[in-house]
Homo-oligomer: A and B are copies of this chain.
């Protein structure tokens, strides 16, 4: 494919945009007119700059309010177009985007629009320029591709064709199926955009909330598939109006953009291969052969470990906290100042090695935090190869010969994701790297201070605190690189602002991640983001157990602290639920929170924050509950805020 992106999709000066777009491997750009109007250089200078970066200027856009106008207005538009044609020749740009008219002066008769489109195409042809006509979702008369096509077909000019944009079709819940029946060579350009499902005016939605395919909730794959089925062989481009992208450093945006296209191509290639259409299209056209095909989506068997970056002092205090939560010291790294803690299937690595990635991360964060996640997979190298194909940097570190080869990649925000071999016959990472007694046996025998049996069985989910401009990056990374899919999403009230909590998980639910963002600078999430040095980091880890009442009773007995929950919470729970009052009484006495859906129930409890940063959660899922009790986060946050307020009053009083 020839891959392109509109300059409006990212932040910076036009030169900075071009550099970022080229660095991400694009072939061309759509030049958004204001970017050129404010560009200090000439058209020729811009053409050279793009060319020097290996980029073509594929499209000049947008040209507004042309068709269906009274003759005098149309004549003025033609004069305006002549200016732009001359400019486009200097830019070496072959196609002008004309979007459907929004002017109240325009009329809806297809014949008038077609005649005027014919005339501008005729003028454009003199410059060897093509006109691409696009149905805007908020056009006055033309909002759907069928209506745009009707006018293009009526005009029937070699230099007039259609421009398609997934957002304009999917935002109106229009059916893209008929696109497959259009003549592919009359589609001059293809713009892809995704978006979250929002109930708002489509113009506002379009101008502020579009995002890259895979980051939103529109069915971009089906749309793209229909375009390919038409025989389309032109560029695959992205045109994204997004408030967040306008302020995100543009190298990240450009990487996300390319990752999005590669992922979209790979998904649609699979669809076409499955349906048998791929071979037919391959024979017909050249383009489809280039649909990107990365190594397969990894099978994930759960979180193999979570690694904390600490210094020596925090290694001790974190160890004490973990011990109070029922973890035992299960191993000491053969060559490094790294400890392994275990309980049930949970493995936590506490890394205080100087001059390591962990120590760099500790420095950057100015304190302890999560620095790496290990994901279990039968084919680690294939998982890493897929990540690399989808533009994730590799992060393999030099290892001693006796250390296990565990490939690693860099996540958005700079953490490491390790792919840890799992399956029969593969040594566990702890056996290979850690000094443990009997590596192949269970956790209890690994332990130096054995306990009767694990209270906590497995890692339920990893919750991240992210800066707002990283959420879309993480969603796309999770989907494209890791094969996780979006799940439950909630908005909850921190006493100092709103928090958006989104989740992704794999199909077996053995890997679940929650991503919290807050535009407020005063929330707990904002606090955690600050504590991560602004790059995002651990919000909390949730451990699953089979009997939370027994587990919490035992943990409390052994001195573990939990965030206190107001008695009013339980009185309200009694009032609003059909729960047995005795059960609510038990929850009250232990401080356990509750959530339910038609599928099942969720019991959970939070620890206070460790070192004023991340915390732990103990959870029990009942039935098919698939959420994260996110709304109860408000109870935790209010409790913490009240404790902090009381403490500061005490300090003042003293």
Contacts and interface: CB of A to CB of B under 8 A. Distances in A.
A37 B201 contact: no
B497 A38 contact: no
Contacts of A34: 493, 634
Given A199-B204, A642-B15, A522 B37 contact: no
Nearest to A32: B493
A282 interface: no
A84 interface: yes
Interface of A: 11-16, 33-34, 36-40, 42-43, 76, 79-80, 83-84, 87, 198-201, 203-204, 243, 246-247, 493-498, 519-523, 564, 566-569, 571-572, 574-576, 578, 634-635, 638-639, 641-642, 645
Given A37-B572, A204-B200, A566-B40, A11 B497 contact: yes
B36 A520 contact: no
Given A246-B496, A571-B87, A13 B641 contact: yes
B567 A42 contact: yes
Nearest to A467: B521
> Copies per complex?
2
Q: Which 8 A-B pairs have the closest CB atoms?
A: A199-B201, A38-B638, A83-B575, A247-B520, A200-B200, A247-B497, A37-B572, A80-B575
Contact of A36 (B16, B38, B87, B568): B568
B568 A11 contact: no
A433 B623 CA distance: 79
Contacts of A36: 568
Contacts of A42: 567-568
A39 B566 contact: yes
Contacts of A564: 40
A39 B565 CA distance: 9
A84 B572 CA distance: 9
A80 B577 CA distance: 9
A472 to B, nearest CB: 15
A37 B12 CA distance: 46
A37 B566 contact: yes
A243 B496 CA distance: 10
Given A204-B199, A204-B200, A576 B80 contact: yes
A576 B33 CA distance: 12
A528 B37 CA distance: 25
Contact of A38 (B80, B571, B574, B634): B634
Contact of A13 (B80, B520, B523, B645): B645
Nearest to A80: B575
Contacts of A243: 497-498, 519-520
Contacts of A568: 36-39, 42-43
A39 B635 CA distance: 9
Given A13-B642, A42-B567, A198-B204, 20 more contacts: A11-B496, A11-B497, A14-B642, A34-B493, A36-B568, A37-B566, A37-B569, A37-B572, A37-B635, A38-B638, A40-B564, A76-B578, A80-B575, A199-B200, A199-B201, A199-B204, A200-B201, A243-B519, A246-B520, A247-B520
29 contacts: A11-B497, A11-B522, A13-B642, A16-B645, A33-B572, A34-B493, A34-B634, A37-B566, A37-B568, A37-B635, A38-B566, A38-B568, A38-B635, A39-B642, A40-B564, A43-B568, A79-B575, A80-B576, A87-B571, A199-B204, A200-B201, A200-B204, A243-B519, A243-B520, A246-B496, A246-B497, A246-B520, A247-B496, A247-B520
Nearest to A526: B247
Nearest to A567: B42
A33 B641 CA distance: 17
A109 to B, nearest CB: 26
A141 to B, nearest CB: 20
Contacts of A495: 11-13
A84 B576 CA distance: 10
A126 B43 CA distance: 81
A245 to B, nearest CB: 10
Contacts of A200: 198-201, 204
